[in-house]
Structure 1
Amino acid sequence: MREAGHAREGAKPRCRLDKIGMKNAETANSAEQHFALQNSAAVAWSFYPSIAPFSRSCSAVVDTGRTTLLGLIKNIFCIAEFLSAAMSARRYNASPVKRGGQGGSPMTLMTTFKVAALAAAAVATAFVAAPAPADAQDTVRWRVQSHWPSASSSFSDSLERLKATLEARTDGRFVLQLHEAGALFPAREIFSAVSRGIIEMGTISPAYIRDRVSVAGIASGLPFAFRNTWEAAYFHKNLGFEEMIRTEAAEHGVFYATDKVYPTEMVVKAPIESLADFESLKIRSSGALQEFLTEAGAAATYLPGPELYPALATGVVDGAHWGAAQGAKSMGLYEVAKYHVQPALNIAGTDAFVISQDAIDALPEDLRDILLNALEEQFWFRTNEYTYKEQIALAAAIAEQDVQVARLPDEVTQHLAATATAAWDKEAEKSEMAAEALEKLKSFLADLGYIQR
């Protein structure tokens, strides 16, 4: 009669090793098993594929930030479960085995036990020899609130790229936990959340912080200033404008890094054929461009990214800008607005990373260097990539979605250029640093022959 207890029929094994032990005991009476037991080391290793996953689960405690030693101790307890299961299973299945007219050998249990011990040793050896995973306490995890919806091309091309770069260069020691637009904070509150240390990092448009950083209006793009992307990049990096933004952001405990510079171009539902057409438009905009378009006669209003498509589809607005062709295509705007307007309203560093300076200072030196180098590299990589992808996206929209490129009539362009000059001077009134930045910009544009001084 089989004994009651853990090994009774229908009982649930306490762990995966119990199942292996019971199987070993149940099959130990076969001639084939006795033959296999003669090479007990080989049998022990044959158990490893089944045991290894459980061994790893026992050592998963290492992944939760405890010590490797504690993980090893838990493995020892699991091994004890294995041995207990083997003995228990052997007891309830101990029917005689006829070998040459003899009864069941008392060595059968011992042999089974040896196999179990060897299997356990194999697990322990493999566990100790295998590279230990990085302690979770050594992994830096930052919460990142983005202003980009996950549908936006920049969420994947900029934010997910930076995440992958940091994880690859730190062997997984630096992990960004990404949250799309609105997940934790509205777009206009991201800078404050970073400044107060509620989250470590975010992405924003400088248009959202014009009340905190006086040069942010210039950073988000003065209308009709640059004509080519390289000019905006040169102004940011070679003429020192990026450092001016960082100086002001640092007063709020925030490190500022421009993601890329690129053009901002509108999409509209109907062609603009006259100044009257332009002045009748309801346009989704933001920051300095919103003020500029309003001054020029249109009705410009701000809407967060996730609300942009439905507003355009339902006629709440007649036109909008979200980057240029790449942004419009990724957000589905060409489905409801078939006219892509040129020239660009501006070319600027319209997207940026904002990072808690305290969080940067708390990083190990190697991670800090990797982060700062990755951000600098990101600017140049994404600026060039965006320029290339703009051409691809616009060509695809024309070919696949019947989008038309619509150039503004001369009377509209001249009206906008005159309005833009007044908008520039208005930004200079915000602070001495803003006045200095505008002077630097005008001098640069004069050198290029775009304006007269």
Structure 2
Amino acid sequence: MTNWKLGAATVALTFAFAGETFAETWNVSLWGQRRAFTEHVERLAELVEEKTGGEFTLNISYGGLSNNRENLDGISIGAFEMAQFCAGYHPDKNRAITVLELPFLGVTTLEQEREISMAVYQHPAVAEEMAQWNATLLMPSPLPQYNFVGVGDAPATLADFEGLSVRATGGIGAAMEAIGAVPTSMSATEVRQALDSGVVDSVSFAPHAHMSFGTVENATYWTTNLNPGTVNCPVVVNTDALEGLSDDHREALLGSVEEALDHYIDYYNNETMAAWGPLLEEKGIEQVSFSDDEISAFREAAAAPAAETWISENEAAGLPAQELFDLVTGMVNGS
């Protein structure tokens, strides 16, 4: 082939490759099994595949890539491109977003939890902290207020929690400690065995997790209205991987987040919560409600001290903790 023909062929081939988007697969580290807590990730995978004609896929693994407490570490070294983690599993690694786990913040709906979480995720201090792990927060996993499933005699008053060993992370643990319980932190996958063997007496989860991890199987009671708080469990991506996507693939991913969250909230409200009440009845689990006066006293004992401690400790660590707390409480109060 003559030189000019070879050059023309090379240029043509170069332009052909430049206009082509190559197939790409991201590995996604979750845990447990598919459940309400992971529905937004599952929907995100569907949307990304649809929008890219199968050229960009999310390969979701439930526990096959990492321990759930090590997902953020895995993201930081690029062991996988996307993962879910809970802030309370390692608060020292993600101090800023633990503001969302403070007790008695007053968040009442999944929609509100979503809005406030996204606002916190976009705060410069949060982005800077996540950058230390080469991570970008993609979306929250909005959860309702946690309550307790336990074994043994059902507590008649909040005083009956004194001395009980309870699985409770983050701000929920701090709240329970305020009424004399003994909080312990363990991952969701360890909880059923701990409850059945008597290592813990009671477990705090949102309803979907009580169902998914089997705590209801031998439970005797469920607290209907303690509502001490919730946990914050973001979906996070490796920043280098995100920046390395083609424009089309990045748009397919980021442009699908809102629809994935819409699906998640609809699923949680209409599927999970619809099944929860009948399941409690079926299992014969006593539903315990506490008086308004007791709940008010609980809130007074736990909320302000936990917030003051969180602000002072994190200001000392160099975070704009008061600013983050004011952002959250301001949104809760509509200001």
Identity of aligned residues (%): 23
Choose which of 254, 275, 288 in structure 1 pairs with 2:135.
254
Larger helix proportion of the pair: 1
Aligned counterparts of 1:349 and 1:366: Cα–Cα separation in 2: 33
1:312 aligns with 2:199: no
What is the root-mean-square deviation in Å for CA atoms of aligned residues?
2.4
SS in 2 for 1:185: coil
> Which letter maps to 2:122?
E
5 Å-filtered alignment, 1:400-419, equals 400-410=282-292, 412-418=294-300, 419=302
> Which letter maps to 1:144?
V
Aligned counterparts of 2:224 and 2:99: Cα–Cα separation in 1: 21
Choose which of 114, 123, 141 in structure 1 pairs with 2:25.
141
Is the 2:97–2:120 contact (alpha carbons within 8 Å) kept by the matching residues of 1?
Answer: no
Task: Give 1:186 deviation, angstroms.
Answer: 2.2
- Structure 1 partner of 2:260: 378
Choose which of 89, 96, 117 in structure 2 pairs with 1:208.
89
- Structure 1 partner of 2:120: 241
Q: Deviation string for 1:316-374 (max 9, x for gaps)?
A: 1111123x222212222211113221225355562211110100011111110111122
401 and 151 in structure 1: CA distance in 2 versus 1, 3 angstrom threshold: farther
- Structure 2 partner of 1:98: none
Aligned counterparts of 2:178 and 2:327: Cα–Cα separation in 1: 24
348 and 298 in structure 1: CA distance in 2 versus 1, 3 angstrom threshold: closer
1:337 aligns with 2:219: yes
Aligned counterparts of 1:392 and 1:437: Cα–Cα separation in 2: 34
Is the 2:87–2:232 contact (alpha carbons within 8 Å) kept by the matching residues of 1?
Answer: yes
5 Å-filtered alignment, 1:93-132, equals none
394 and 338 in structure 1: CA distance in 2 versus 1, 3 angstrom threshold: farther
Is the 2:105–2:332 contact (alpha carbons within 8 Å) kept by the matching residues of 1?
Answer: yes
- Structure 2 partner of 1:81: none
Aligned counterparts of 1:166 and 1:151: Cα–Cα separation in 2: 18
Task: Give 1:268 deviation, angstroms.
Answer: 1.7
SS in 1 for 2:140: strand
Task: Give 1:412 deviation, angstroms.
Answer: 4.3
399 and 348 in structure 1: CA distance in 2 versus 1, 3 angstrom threshold: closer
Aligned counterparts of 2:272 and 2:106: Cα–Cα separation in 1: 17
Which structure has the higher relative contact order (CA within 8 Å, separation 6+)? 2
Task: Give 1:384 deviation, angstroms.
Answer: 3.6
TM-score by length of structure 1 reads 0.62
SS in 1 for 2:256: helix
> Which letter maps to 2:121?
E
380 and 241 in structure 1: CA distance in 2 versus 1, 3 angstrom threshold: farther
Mind listing any 5+ residue stretches in structure 2 that lack a counterpart? 1-20
Q: Which has the larger radius of gyration?
A: 1
- Structure 2 partner of 1:177: 59
SS in 2 for 1:337: coil
- Structure 1 partner of 2:103: 223
Is the 1:259–1:378 contact (alpha carbons within 8 Å) kept by the matching residues of 2?
Answer: no
**Corresponding pairs, count:** 305
Is the 1:290–1:301 contact (alpha carbons within 8 Å) kept by the matching residues of 2?
Answer: yes
Is the 1:214–1:433 contact (alpha carbons within 8 Å) kept by the matching residues of 2?
Answer: no
> Which letter maps to 2:182?
A
TM-score by length of structure 2 reads 0.82
